Structure 1
Amino acid sequence: MSWVSRLAAVHGAFWIADRWYRIWWYVWPAALALLISGWIYADKPSWGGDARNALQGEWAKPVTLATPIPIRNSPILANWPEKLQSDVAVCFTRAPDIHPIIDACSRLIDSGEISNSQRSSAYNQRGFLRRVKEPIRALEDVEAALKLMPNVPYALANRAYIYIGQSKFDAAIQDLNKAIEQFPPTASGPAHHLRGLAYFKLGDYQKAQTELDEALRLDPNNPDPLMNRGELEQAQKNNDAALRDFDEYSRRVPRDPRGPIGRATVLEATGHPQEALAALDKALIIDPANLRAAALRDRLRAQRIGTDQSKTGDNSPK
């Protein structure tokens, strides 16, 4: 059998047995034709022969590979100096390692070549990145941002977050009131979430409930308010509602142990220690080093052992 015959036999066997092989044979000629057509289309000259006309819609618009990646659709981040574009792209992005991002923001701040609004944005972004691990330096950055551009809602919300971490709840609410006035309604969900958390910490449960409900209405894809609303409902003894929120949070963020831990605390409070232990086991599978989950599990196990001993009358150590 010639190689052509063997190739035809193999092709026939795959054609009969493999659906994806058949689909591939339909797709690749069309893809090749589209690619060739694209080359012809892109190479077609503009009517006027000049670059401005080429950008006005005649034939294909040229693609400039050096064009910076757009960071955010915000006028504050427009018109940065060309030579700083690479630092802009790094500063206003998200990545697991924040240190290169902080360095890029610092270079923008120290460049001396940007406007006050741009400098304010760089300060605010650096403060946002520092607010968890370096809250004091973060507050300095956000204060600098607000000094340059007062009442910018993102900076106010960042400062409120830091204030909540410092237990300055009234100050946080004042900033969030201003921020929510400045935000478009569709962008104010995170600020309502923070204001709800601040009211919760102050013990004003009714206002906290209203704010957290509003945060979820405005930003339904953000699971964070579910966790705080679950804690709020648990504090009000609304255990069924709390359990629903903790379970929904776990469904959306399955790699966060806080959902199963919240579930465990509700189950313990409602007299279901075995189910609570199962939830804590799940939390520790997610995060074996979680001290809170380990402490709760150890306490529940000790209580169960004590209960079993009291029932059997055996008080000897196990």
Structure 2
Amino acid sequence: MPGIALSKPFVAGVAVRDGNDPNWVQNQLNRCLSKTLEVSQSMTSCSALINTPQVRGQQLAAAFRQRGFLQREKDPDRAIADYDNALKAWPDSADALTGRAWVLMTSRNYEAALQDLSRAIELSPTMATARYYRGYAYLRTRKYPQALTDLNEAIKLDPGNADYYLARGEVWQTLENYEAALHDFEEASKLAPEDVGGLISSGAVFEAMGKPREALAALERAVSLAPKDKDAVSERDRLRSEVSGAASAGSAR
């Protein structure tokens, strides 16, 4: 297809096309998009589709998009190239725009990410992930009213996602609306009790409110849940020392 840079198959192996199997393309697409196969197996099927000239349009876009997703953490540059090709194959892919925006945000290219996310939301207004990412990008670019609007909408669309509450809590914390921040961090902790981010953030808010003992209690809970979390341990130890020092100074008077 014009404009698509076909990539070489990955070293994980080549899924050879079976000329006698009329369902080969769909089978490979299912493997490419699978959430149960090993990453290398899914990558192999995605690459097989990408290197099959007969695969075009939405199917080709899906293969590029998924391969970009599978490698976005370990090889962001290659992920960007795959997302670019997905959008050449199917320009109206909200998923590809959102995926590319995620990679852009990891390199702090928030303005480019915002362009992709705004286009994705135009294409898919009820896509909670795109709303969340754009809200986060607005947060990082200090556009707090816009951040709240998007994060409110993301939570409305998907009220069970702890990350959305963590992000909105950070906006409230930045705006010094501490009660609202504590509410969101507590909600995040309820939704994802194994993630101590909400407790650590609650500790920071309590400390900003001049409530060091409440802050320490939140951090103690965080450490009890995740004793190997370096942030939780370091903040707990720091605050322990400060609270202990303040108590000693008070008793010496």
Q: TM-score range by the shorter chain?
A: 0.7 to 0.9
- Kindly indicate whether the alpha-carbon contact (under 8 Å) linking 1:98 and 1:129 is maintained by their aligned counterparts in 2: yes
Shift of 1:200: 0.7
Cα gap change, 1:81 to 1:195, in 2 (>3 Å): farther
Shift of 1:113: 4.5
How many angstroms apart in 1 are the aligned matches of 2:121 and 2:249? 56
How many angstroms apart in 2 are the aligned matches of 1:81 and 1:169? 44
Larger RCO: 1 or 2 (CA < 8 Å, sep 6+)? 2
Does 1:145 pair with 2:83? no
Q: Which residue of 2 aligns with 1:246?
A: 185
TM-score calculated relative to the size of structure 1: 0.67
Supply the AA of the counterpart residue of 1:289.
K
CA RMSD of aligned residues (A): 2.2
Q: Equivalences for 1:96-175 in 2 at 5 Å?
A: 98-175=39-116
How many angstroms apart in 1 are the aligned matches of 2:132 and 2:116? 13
How many angstroms apart in 2 are the aligned matches of 1:135 and 1:283? 32
Q: Which residue of 2 aligns with 1:182?
A: 123
Give CA-to-partner distance per residue, 1:3-28, whole Å, 9 cap, x none: xxxxxxxxxxxxxxxxxxxxxxxxxx
Q: Which residue of 1 aligns with 2:156?
A: 217
Shift of 1:86: 4.0
Give the greater-gyration-radius structure (CA): 1
Q: How much identity, in percent, do the aligned residues show?
A: 39
Counterpart secondary structure, 1:240: helix
Q: Equivalences for 1:1-318 in 2 at 5 Å?
A: 82-95=23-36, 98-183=39-124, 185-186=125-126, 188-313=127-252
TM-score calculated relative to the size of structure 2: 0.83
Supply the AA of the counterpart residue of 1:250.
S
How many angstroms apart in 2 are the aligned matches of 1:244 and 1:200? 18
Counterpart secondary structure, 1:247: helix
Shift of 1:258: 0.9
Name stretches of at least 5 consecutive residues in structure 2 with no aligned partner: 1-20
How many angstroms apart in 1 are the aligned matches of 2:85 and 2:235? 42
Larger mean Cα displacement after TM superposition, 273-282 or 236-245: 273-282
Cα gap change, 1:233 to 1:306, in 2 (>3 Å): same
How many angstroms apart in 1 are the aligned matches of 2:222 and 2:36? 25
- Kindly indicate whether the alpha-carbon contact (under 8 Å) linking 2:160 and 2:191 is maintained by their aligned counterparts in 1: no
How many angstroms apart in 2 are the aligned matches of 1:298 and 1:110? 55
Shift of 1:235: 0.5
Supply the AA of the counterpart residue of 1:82.
N
Supply the AA of the counterpart residue of 2:91.
P
Shift of 1:163: 1.2
Q: Which residue of 1 aligns with 2:12?
A: none
Shift of 1:211: 1.0
Aligned residues: 233
Larger mean Cα displacement after TM superposition, 235-244 or 300-309: 300-309
How many angstroms apart in 1 are the aligned matches of 2:41 and 2:226? 27
Q: Which residue of 1 aligns with 2:8?
A: none
Give CA-to-partner distance per residue, 1:219-268, whole Å, 9 cap, x none: 22333211100010001001110111111111111111112112211122
How many angstroms apart in 2 are the aligned matches of 1:271 and 1:81? 68
Give CA-to-partner distance per residue, 1:69-94, whole Å, 9 cap, x none: xxxxxxxxxxx951244432232132
Name stretches of at least 5 consecutive residues in structure 1 with no aligned partner: 1-79
Supply the AA of the counterpart residue of 1:158.
G
How many angstroms apart in 1 are the aligned matches of 2:45 and 2:214? 48
How many angstroms apart in 1 are the aligned matches of 2:62 and 2:244? 57
